[in-house]
Structures are given as structure tokens and as C-alpha cells.
């Protein structure tokens, strides 16, 4: 996939980063396939390439990868309301932007831009935002081979009115699905253009995110500060970068999403079959034992 480009040299560097080779990866995949045979509720038709991508996002730890595969199929299956309407996802027509940049940084990170595209409060729908993000996140899981993700979160145009639509429960689902089901490795969260009510935004972040992610947040007062973390060569022109502008990059994502409609249709069906499960679901912090989301208690 050209929009998430990975050269063979970069792939080799990522494997070297984790001190693993092709033979070891194949052995790990075989171990996971043997485990899958004992889990009749999980799909058996996944590719070696997909298993490798999940291994990568879990630092090639086999037991952790098994748990994340369990999460991937179970949590998606139990939260189908966030996995629907993919045929209506057109990145250039969304009120927000989720844009993975095309090239890896020298440290093998994928830079992702999150920002408002249309500040019209009446058109802002947190559920549409989440569905779009999850669809693009699915493509990233399918094709990327980065060490991890760094997010630039731009609050330009963001108002208190938008904040009132930041419903904590769907937001927490969003964050947890990315971490627990999609195995997203967040290396850093770079805030730019924070408004005067930044403390309220950060309070919500602390409510829905784990402390280890809060520690990875950094506030940038200017582009010079951002460039100390992310070189200009890996940023769009809106942030002083040498890439083309965000609208042009998003147009290419329109084509990518549309061309994957059949993939989304089949992939969203490829979930846990609970009637075949042997034993109980393993619960995690955010989801109950049946894979449904626990309600947050909000003051």
C-alpha cells in the first residue's frame, strides 16, 4: 500500500531493532497457529502476514500476541456499532482528519496527524470520527511495519462546544480498541495549538488513558518545538514540513478506503464466534468478561 510505504531495508531494520530474524518469526507464527487450533471460537483463516503484523506490534512476544489476537476478534465482534457504515467513510468528507504520513522516520516511527478538518459543531459526530479512525487503523495494522506510532494532535479550531461532544464512554472505547484490539504502540503524543481550556482536555485524557500514555504526552508551543521531535521531512506543509499539504494527502486516502470496501466487509465479519468458545473470556481492564465495554463512572 503506497500510502503506508515500507521498503525491504526498513523492514529489515525493524526486525533488527527487535533482534529477530525470518526463521524465528516463522517459528513464532507456527506456535500461534498451533494455539489457534485449540481455540475454535477464533477465525482460522488469517494469514501468516497478519499474524506477523500483530507479533510486531507486540514486540514479537508470543503469549502477548495470543492475548491481542483474542482481543482483536472478540472486542471487534462485541462492538459492531463502531465497525459499521464503512461504505460511508470518505476521509476528505469527515469533520476530522486521521492521517498516517507516508514515510517512516529515521527511528522507524509512523507519524500520524489528528486534527479538526471542519470546525462546524453541528456536523461533529464522535461516532463517525471513531468509525473513520478504526477503519484507517485497520489498514495500518494490515500494511504497516513500523516500530510504533507517534501522534500529532492539533486542536486548531477546537472549542468548548466540541469538548461537550467528547463523550467519555465512546472515547474510552476508541482508545482501548486501538490499544487492546489493534495493538497500537503509542510512542508519543504531541499536542499543538492547545486552547485556553487545555486543562479540561487533559483531564479527559487522564480519565480514558493509562498513565503510561499520559507520560508520553508533550505540549508544543510552536513548530520549532515540534520539529525537535519530528523532523520537517516527515511532516505536511501545514506544520512547516516538506511533504505536500494535508488535503492532497487525504485525497489519496479516499481512493485507498474506497478500494478496500470489500476488505472491510469481509474483515468486519471475521470475529469471534462465541457459541464455539471453550471456557470463559479473559477480561481486561476496560472490557468485561463477555468483551463488552464497562461503563465509566464520570463525576
State yes or no: pLDDT of 294 exceeds 60: no
- For residues 56 and 87, which has the higher predicted lDDT (pLDDT)? 56
Residues 112-123: pLDDT tens digits? Answer: 999 999 999 999
State yes or no: pLDDT of 287 exceeds 60: no
Task: Give the pLDDT of residue 295.
Answer: 42
Q: Which of 210, 52, 229, 59 is nearest to 150 (CA)?
A: 229
Task: Give the pLDDT of residue 171.
Answer: 87
- For residues 223 and 187, the answer to whether their CB atoms sit within 8 Å is no
The 3-class secondary structure across the chain, one letter per residue, is CHHHCCCHHHHHHHHHHCCCCHHHHHHHHHHHHHHHHCCCCCCCCCCHHHHHHHHHHCCCCHHHHHHHHHHHHHHHHCCHHHCCCHHHCCHHHCCEEEEEEEEECCCCEEEEEEEECCCCHHHCCHHHHHHHHHHHHHHHHHHCCCCEEEEEEECCCCCHHHHHCCCHHHHHHHHHHHHHHCCCCEEEEEEECCCCCHHHHHHHHHHHCCHHHHCCEEEECCHHHHHCCCCHHHCCHHHCCCCCCHHHHHHHHHHHHHHCHHHHHHHHHCCCCHHHCCCCCCCCCCECCCCCECCCCCC
State yes or no: pLDDT of 249 exceeds 80: yes
State yes or no: pLDDT of 77 exceeds 70: yes
Residues 15-42: pLDDT tens digits? Answer: 999 999 999 999 999 999 999 999 999 9
Task: Give the pLDDT of residue 2.
Answer: 81
**In the CATH scheme, what is the code of domain 1-287?**
3.40.525.10
Beta bridge partners of 191: 153, 219
Q: What is the mean pLDDT of residues 275-299?
A: 56
Helix orientation angle between 126-143 and 246-259, rounded to the nearest 10 degrees: 80
Q: What is the mean pLDDT of residues 273-286?
A: 73
Q: What is the pTM of this model?
A: 0.91
State yes or no: pLDDT of 190 exceeds 90: yes
Sorting pLDDT into bands at 50, 70 and 90, what band is 5?
Answer: confident
Task: Give the pLDDT of residue 232.
Answer: 96
Q: What is the mean pLDDT of residues 45-65?
A: 98
State yes or no: pLDDT of 285 exceeds 90: no
State yes or no: pLDDT of 291 exceeds 50: no
- For residues 89 and 192, which has the higher predicted lDDT (pLDDT)? 192
Please, what is the average pLDDT of the chain? 91
Task: Give the pLDDT of residue 298.
Answer: 34
- For residues 267 and 280, which has the higher predicted lDDT (pLDDT)? 267
Minimum mean pLDDT range among 98-107, 166-175, 240-249: 166-175
Percent pLDDT > 70 in the chain is 94
Task: Give the pLDDT of residue 83.
Answer: 85
Q: What is the mean pLDDT of residues 210-236?
A: 96
Q: What is the mean pLDDT of residues 229-243?
A: 96
Task: Give the pLDDT of residue 255.
Answer: 93
Sorting pLDDT into bands at 50, 70 and 90, what band is 281?
Answer: low
Amino acid at each position: 500500500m503506497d500510502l503506508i510505504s515500507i521498503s525491504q531495508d526498513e523492514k529489515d531494520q525493524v526486525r533488527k531493532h527487535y533482534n529477530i530474524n525470518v526463521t524465528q518469526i516463522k517459528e513464532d507464527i507456527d506456535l500461534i497457529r498451533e494455539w489457534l487450533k485449540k481455540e475454535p471460537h477464533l477465525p482460522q483463516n488469517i494469514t501468516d502476514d497478519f499474524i506477523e503484523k500483530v507479533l510486531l506490534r507486540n514486540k514479537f512476544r508470543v503469549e502477548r500476541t495470543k492475548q491481542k489476537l483474542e482481543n482483536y476478534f472478540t472486542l471487534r465482534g462485541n462492538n459492531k456499532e463502531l465497525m459499521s457504515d464503512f461504505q460511508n467513510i470518505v476521509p476528505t468528507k469527515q469533520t476530522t482528519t486521521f492521517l498516517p504520513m507516508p514515510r517512516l522516520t529515521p527511528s522507524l516511527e509512523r507519524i500520524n496527524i489528528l486534527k479538526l478538518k471542519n470546525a462546524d459543531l453541528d456536523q461533529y459526530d464522535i461516532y463517525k470520527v471513531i468509525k473513520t479512525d478504526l477503519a484507517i487503523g485497520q489498514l495500518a495494522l494490515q500494511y504497516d511495519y513500523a516500530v510504533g506510532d507517534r501522534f500529532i494532535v492539533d486542536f486548531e479550531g477546537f472549542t468548548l462546544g466540541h469538548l461537550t461532544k467528547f463523550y467519555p464512554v465512546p472515547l474510552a472505547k476508541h482508545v482501548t480498541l486501538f490499544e487492546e484490539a489493534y495493538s497500537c504502540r503509542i510512542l508519543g503524543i504531541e499536542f499543538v495549538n492547545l486552547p485556553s481550556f487545555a486543562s479540561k482536555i487533559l483531564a479527559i485524557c487522564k480519565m480514558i488513558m493509562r498513565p503510561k500514555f499520559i507520560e508520553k504526552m508533550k505540549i508544543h508551543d510552536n513548530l520549532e518545538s515540534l520539529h525537535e521531535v519530528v523532523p520537517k521531512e516527515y511532516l505536511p506543509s501545514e506544520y512547516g514540513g516538506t511533504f505536500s499539504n494535508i488535503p492532497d494527502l487525504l485525497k489519496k486516502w479516499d481512493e485507498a478506503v474506497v478500494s478496500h470496501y470489500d476488505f472491510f466487509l469481509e474483515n468486519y465479519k471475521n470475529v469471534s464466534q462465541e457459541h464455539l468458545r471453550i471456557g470463559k473470556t479473559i477480561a481486561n481492564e476496560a472490557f468485561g468478561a463477555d468483551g463488552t465495554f464497562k461503563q465509566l463512572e464520570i463525576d
